[in-house]
Amino acid sequence: MDYSLDINDKVAVVTGAGGVLCGMFSKVLAEQGAKVALLDLNQEAAQIVADEICASGGIAKAYKANVLELESLKQVHEQVLTDLGSCDILLNGAGGNNKMANTDKEYFEPGDEMDPETVSFFDLDPQGVQFVFSLNFIGTLLPTQVFAKDMIGKKNVSIINISSMNAFTPLTKIPAYSGAKAAISNFTQWLAVHFSRAGIRVNALAPGFFVTNQNRDLLFDVDGNPTARTKKILAATPMNRFGEPEELNGTLLYLLNEKMSGFVTGVVIPIDGGFSAYSGV
């Protein structure tokens, strides 16, 4: 059988495309022949990736888009339709955390609630928590509402969401981000069922620990040495290393390949070096 991926001339819309991982995904999709719309609030970052794609012979265009504003997405949708065509692949990559939704300590100790120098659970900023939930969940829901309409009546169309290992087992200090990614996994399953009779497959990647612009300062100090949190992460990862961004690409391409995964929908696939399999003993 011919298991080759055929997304030549299909239109792929990637949100958060100015980031490390989604910028890489955009390049991979373009290498496979897709015309890529790179959406990011930071259009300059997305433009750098788009320029690299075009310089390599691919087709890509960057757009400034706010995934939390429906009108912004609708306007971009109209531009994408004019420039590239209707959407066949939607990769919901926009998301992230905010320090206002983090606790300072992994474990609460009596007295923390009275310490002005410590951000305890009781000090979490409701607006920060709400922002993290919105950025991840609403930032996935709204682009899907806008771009999935293009997929109705087509064949070989897919939505790929970006979940996290946080969704399976929450990490300490980041309750809002963990909860928001759990919502993405649940939403992936819901969408998969909802669109199952319309021919739209919906799946998600759940990356383990990869070094990105968002978490670099948490993983390494100013001198480039691993932090205490990095040492804990690697001790809990059987492969004893961070993932390389390129190690996500195979799962992405598998999920987009109708010949290989045409009966796969509603799954959240861990790519984590064994983190989710390890009990710590």
Domains, in order of start, for the chain: 11-208+243-267 (3.40.50.720)
Q: Please give the Cα distance from 272 to 171 (Å, whole number).
A: 14
CB 268 within 8 A of CB 185: yes
Residue given tokens 């993290």 in the structure block: 132
Catalytic, 107? Answer no
pLDDT tens, per residue, the chain with 281 residues: 789 999 999 999 999 999 999 999 999 999 999 999 999 999 999 999 999 999 999 999 999 999 999 999 999 999 999 999 999 999 999 999 999 999 999 999 999 999 999 999 999 999 999 999 999 999 999 999 999 999 999 999 999 999 999 999 999 999 999 999 999 999 999 999 999 999 999 999 999 999 887 778 778 888 888 888 899 999 999 999 999 999 999 999 999 999 999 999 999 999 999 999 999 98
Among the options 3, 63, 177, 254, which is catalytic? 177
CB 129 within 8 A of CB 142: no
Give first-to-last CA distance, the chain, whole Å.
Answer: 43
**0.85 exceeded by the pTM?**
yes
Biggest alpha carbon–alpha carbon distance for the chain: 66
